[in-house]
Structure 1
Amino acid sequence: MNNKGILTWWATFSILVQVQIGIGILSLPRDVHHIAKGDGWISVLFAGLSIQLLVTIIWLLATRFKSQTLYEFAPKLVGKYLGSLINIAYSIYFLSMVFLTTLLFTDILKRWVLFKTPHLVIYVLVLGVAYYLAKDNIKVIARFYTFTAMFVILLIFILVPALVSFDIRFVLPVGQTGIGNIAKGIKEVTNSMLGFELLLVLFPFIDERFRRYSIVVAANAFVTILYTLIVLITITVFSPAEIKLIPEPVLYMLKSFQFDLVERIDLLFISVWFVSIVTTLVMYLYVASLGVTTIFKRKSHAPMVGWCVLLIIAVLFFSNKDIYGIVNYVRVISNASYLFIFVLPLLLLFLSFIRKERGK
């Protein structure tokens, strides 16, 4: 809590972008195509606009308590006991995002690279990297995010070879599925672009000179454009019949390309994409540990990070790892996320105006 007001505009932008780019990027083209068909890329654009509305609500709430995190101003708005309940709920939600991201990432690694490696080994290695970073203060973490921002650009360049197989006929005519299906596809995209809700906790750590709404707009716009390009490229490379049968169309698309220098470009993509997964895990783990630290009234979050990691590994070890179990976890956590990204922030914002409560 002693590192408030130190994040620069670039650090803030890098964190917001990299947290939003997560596990869903691989299967999103198939998921959204299943609903919106060739208009899936339009669903992504509308999802970006919807997310900007949610970001605006969170931004308005955060700016009313400039020097306080969610864990600090929630009890002031709704009372000590209900505020503590909200803090516990958000901490569990953030930890569940770490659980789900690790579970999905491990499943993909098992199927694409580490076929015979036990699940537990992958859990320990992935969360061990996240723990090593999350236990430090936000200044150190921000430096890591500013460095890894270049890997996001590298992801774009890796997708360039797919343009050779681009067939625009797969998305024509535009609007073929109707506005109803396009709207339904927005939900699938929104679930793949979560991470902006961390602003509720991270806002006080941003330098007052860089607390500009334009930064969060730019971050969300960048992610929206990136996801739109990925979905558009993928659904124009595979035919409508093919994409229904492919679980991770982005990886299968890259696997079909071979070069003299790099034979398996899909493995190169996974290596770069691993950095995006780590950045997502680190920030969710960091904000969750801050919540646990507040709940148990500890001075340092570092020990709490270790306990959080051990808890998640234990839950992962005893969790259902088949495809049906994973789908159920995704469905439950995705549906619950709307409570934390929309309902509670809107309610707290409303109460802050009713009670005329503001941070100093």
Structure 2
Amino acid sequence: MTISRTQLFFMIIKTQIGIGLLSLPSDTQSIAGGDSWISVLLAGAVIQLVLFVYWHLLKKYPNDTLSEITIHLLGRYLGKAINVVYYAFFVLIAAYACSLYAELINIWMLPLTPGWVLLLLIVGTSVYLALDNLRVIARFFVFSSILFVVLILISFLNFNSVMHISNILPVGQSGMMPILSGSEKTFFSMLGFEVTLYFYSQVQGNRKGMLSVISAANGFVTLFYTYFVLICLMGLSPKALEQVNEPVLFLFKGLSFQLFDRLDLIFLTIWIIPMTATIVSYLCVAGKSLTTKRGSYRKLVWFSGGIVFITAWFITTIENMRPFSKWLEYGYLIMIAAVPVLLWLSSFLVKTHEKVGSV
């Protein structure tokens, strides 16, 4: 089942934009201060370099997903072993994201609802969507992307309050090293672009100009994150940003209008859809990492959903998440950057071998 370029664009941004945005302004401000927005732009530039490597690799194997490329370049046994690792990794990422989503909803909206109930609802909805074919999933992502426009329109209401542009001036005051450290933190909040490795081959028609499509998706996400970091920096004092965990929601909490109240809950209610879309994407690529057959894929999604629920419930019992999240970040760098780069370099050896063999 194929998708269009536009659908690929929205599938990438819907996977990238998730829960990380809500806490990003406070996380980066504690490191880079008023230059946090620069850190976001630098993180976007680094991701663009990674996407450039993806494009070069996928251009050589335009009809193959990453799971098929690994087998082609590394051989049947090593390639399948790598794909199993990718499957486990994607399931773990989905479980980690589910635990964060459930915790966020529990704190801000449903404090009396048991965590396992929230996890069941999140995982159940995600599995239901991931079971369908890729074109249906892509159409849902495109349709629901209109909510980004709603969120941006809601954010404009903050400009009725006092915005302190002095909080981000002078530009570059934090120094290069804090800005670079902030970009590292931002990089892990913008992950999700790796789904390109699995969805690229599903795009119908000529693949010419695909670099522009994936670059445009990264550009949109980068500017989207930069915008919300900026309004948090200007709308909240540095001390306030240090004390709140989700400054984006906190910024809306103080807004009240005659027709509606508690904009933070309205914002979060809408935000649940992009958060769920991230889980759907990871369940989808987890299934595609081990099989290309429709029947096997559906069974694997059901199985993956069960593992995600159990793992997410276990993660919620961990008191100190910092060591676990740090380990996950290192794993992410290996799986989405190091391995694709090595595969790309290996593709030159395979190509050279094929040329020698054909002479």
Question: Could you say which TM-score interval applies, normalised by the shorter chain?
Answer: over 0.9
Question: What secondary structure, in the 3-state scheme, does the structure 2 residue paired with 1:173 have?
Answer: coil
The aligned residue for residue 271 of structure 1 is 269
Aligned to 2:249: 251
- Partner in structure 1 of residue 178 of structure 2: 181
Q: Percent identity?
A: 35
Of 152, 156, 163, the residue aligned with 1:160 is 156
Q: 1:337 aligns with which of 302, 322, 332?
A: 332
Q: What secondary structure sits across from 2:289 in the alignment?
A: helix
Instruction: Judge conservation of contact 2:102–2:115 (CA < 8 Å) in 1.
Output: yes
Aligned residues of 2:8 and 2:200 also touching (Cα < 8 A): no
1:355 maps to 2:350: yes
2:96–2:315: 8 Å Cα contact kept in structure 1? Answer: no
C-alpha deviation, 1:298, in angstroms: 7.7
Deviation at 1:129, TM superposition (A): 0.6
Native 8 Å contact 1:293 1:299 kept in 2 = no
Rounded to whole Å, the distance in 2 between the matches of 1:246 and 1:107 is 15
Q: Residue 255 of structure 2 aligns to a residue in which SS?
A: coil
Amino acid at match of 2:233: I
The C-alpha deviation readout for 1:98-123, integer Å capped at 9, x for no partner, is: 11110111111111111011111011
Aligned residue identity for 1:179: M
Q: Which residue of 2 aligns with 1:134?
A: 130
Tell me how far apart the structure 2 counterparts of residues 147 and 340 of structure 1 sit (CA, whole Å). 30
Aligned-partner Cα distance in 1 for 2:126–2:177? 40
Partner of 1:302, secondary structure, is helix
Partner of 1:63: 59
Q: Which runs of 4+ in 1 moved over 4 A?
A: none
Structure 1 segment 51-130 matched on structure 2, within 5 A: 51-130=47-126
C-alpha distance in 2 between matches for 1:165 and 1:102:
35
Question: Is contact 1:100-1:329 (8 Å) kept?
Answer: no
The one-letter code of the counterpart of 1:144 is F
Preserved CA contact (<8 Å) 1:258 1:265: yes
Per the TM alignment, residue 41 of structure 1 is displaced from its structure 2 partner at its CA by 0.2
Which residue in 2 is equivalent to 1:31? 27
Shift of residue 287 of structure 1? 0.8
* TM value normalised by structure 2: 0.94
- Name the structure 2 match of 1:214: 212
Q: Distance in 2 between matches of 1:21 and 1:210?
A: 25
Flag structure 2 segments of 5+ consecutive residues without an equivalent: 355-359
- Would you say how many aligned residue pairs link Structure 1 and Structure 2? 351
Structure 1: give runs of 5+ residues left out of the alignment: none
